[in-house]
């Protein structure tokens, strides 16, 4: 996975490559999908959600510029894999999930002794998981040096811009429900630099600062969400 799907496609950050190489991805999947853990695509998890393609996790993590001690807000805990990658690098992660059952499973999983940081402490020592609507961020813990949104949004939510520290980076898939662009936002004082890093497809961000109900309703009629 690291050589072919990540390094071979241009992921260069050695911290990201090492973290993803060290983590047993099969521990983040339903047991019947453990054999598919290194598959080059997204996979289903509980609650109709997904664990993202390894390459997209690598790219988003690299675009965040992670480093030990960095304060990161993740929106969309899902399986907990993205949070684990950041924690393994040494980031201090606050992760928000709207499905309580996914949050509970991820909390248990990340406390496992087999998922440790390089000093042997459980990854849960570096990750706090909260249940709620992350589309509006988590104001009382702001500002964040990095914000990573692992669900698609129609535009960059204003509360997330406001909760970004000066010089901080926000990585988020932006666009209509069918397909999005991966956007990196860097805060420079009151201004924001934005760059696109290509197409991607994510499950939708559901919340106050995301798609309106009519848009979601129309999409639901077309079938289950895809990533």
Site membership for ligand SAM, residue 29 (CB under 6 A): no
Site membership for ligand SAM, residue 205 (CB under 6 A): yes
Q: With CA atoms as reference, report the closest residue to 203 among 133, 148, 152, 134.
A: 152
Q: Which long-range contacts (CB under 8 A, 24 or more apart) does 114-118 make?
A: 114/24, 114/27, 115/23, 115/24, 115/27, 115/84, 117/87, 117/88, 117/90, 118/88
Site membership for ligand SAM, residue 61 (CB under 6 A): no
Tell me whether residue 65 or residue 138 sits nearer to ligand SAM (CB atom).
138
| CB 224, min distance to ligand SAM, A | 13
Question: Site residues for ligand SAM, window 143-162 (CB under 6 A)?
Answer: 150-151
Site membership for ligand SAM, residue 79 (CB under 6 A): yes
Tell me whether residue 56 or residue 185 sits nearer to ligand SAM (CB atom).
56
Q: Are strands 127-131 and 164-174 parallel, antiparallel or unpaired?
A: unpaired
Site membership for ligand SAM, residue 65 (CB under 6 A): no
| CB 130, min distance to ligand SAM, A | 9
| CB 141, min distance to ligand SAM, A | 15
Site membership for ligand SAM, residue 53 (CB under 6 A): no
Q: Are strands 127-131 and 92-97 parallel, antiparallel or unpaired?
A: parallel
Site membership for ligand SAM, residue 135 (CB under 6 A): yes
| CB 131, min distance to ligand SAM, A | 8
| CB 114, min distance to ligand SAM, A | 17
Q: With CA atoms as reference, report the closest residue to 226 among 94, 30, 42, 103.
A: 42
Contact 90, 44 (CB under 8 A): no
Helix (H, G, I), strand (E, B) or coil at 196: strand
Residue with tokens 């799907």: 5
Annotated catalytic, 52?
yes
Sequence-distant (≥ 6) Cβ neighbours of residue 20 within 8 angstroms: 1, 2, 6, 54, 57, 58, 61, 85
Question: Site residues for ligand SAM, window 81-100 (CB under 6 A)?
Answer: 81-82, 96-99
Sequence-distant (≥ 6) Cβ neighbours of residue 59 within 8 angstroms: 11, 182, 197
Q: Which residues pair with 174 in a beta bridge?
A: 153, 181
Tell me whether residue 144 or residue 202 sits nearer to ligand SAM (CB atom).
202
Contact footprint for ligand SAM (CB under 6 A)? 49-52, 75-76, 78-79, 81-82, 96-99, 102, 133-135, 150-151, 202-203, 205-207, 227
């Amino acid at each position: 996975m690291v050589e072919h799907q990540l390094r071979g496609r241009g992921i260069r950050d050695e911290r990201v490559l090492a973290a993803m190489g060290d983590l047993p991805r099969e521990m983040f999947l339903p047991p019947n999908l453990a054999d598919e853990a290194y598959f080059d695509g997204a996979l289903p998890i509980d609650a109709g959600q997904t664990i993202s393609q390894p390459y997209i996790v690598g790219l988003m993590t690299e675009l965040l510029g992670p480093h030990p001690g960095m304060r990161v807000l993740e929106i969309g805990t899902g399986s907990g894999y993205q949070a684990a990658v950041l924690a393994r690098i040494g980031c201090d992660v606050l992760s928000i999930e709207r499905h309580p059952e996914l949050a509970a499973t991820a909390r248990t999983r990340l406390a496992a002794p087999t998922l440790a940081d390089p000093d042997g402490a459980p990854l849960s020592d570096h990750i706090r998981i909260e249940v709620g609507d992350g589309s509006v961020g988590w104001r009382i813990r702001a500002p964040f040096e990095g914000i990573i949104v692992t669900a698609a949004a129609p535009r960059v939510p204003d509360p997330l811009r406001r909760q970004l520290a000066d010089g901080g980076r926000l990585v988020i898939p932006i666009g209509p429900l069918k397909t999005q662009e991966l956007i990196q936002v860097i805060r420079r004082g009151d201004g924001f630099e934005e760059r696109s890093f290509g197409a991607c497809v994510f499950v939708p961000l559901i919340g106050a600062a995301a798609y309106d109900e009519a848009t979601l309703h129309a999409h639901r009629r077309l079938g289950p969400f895809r990533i």
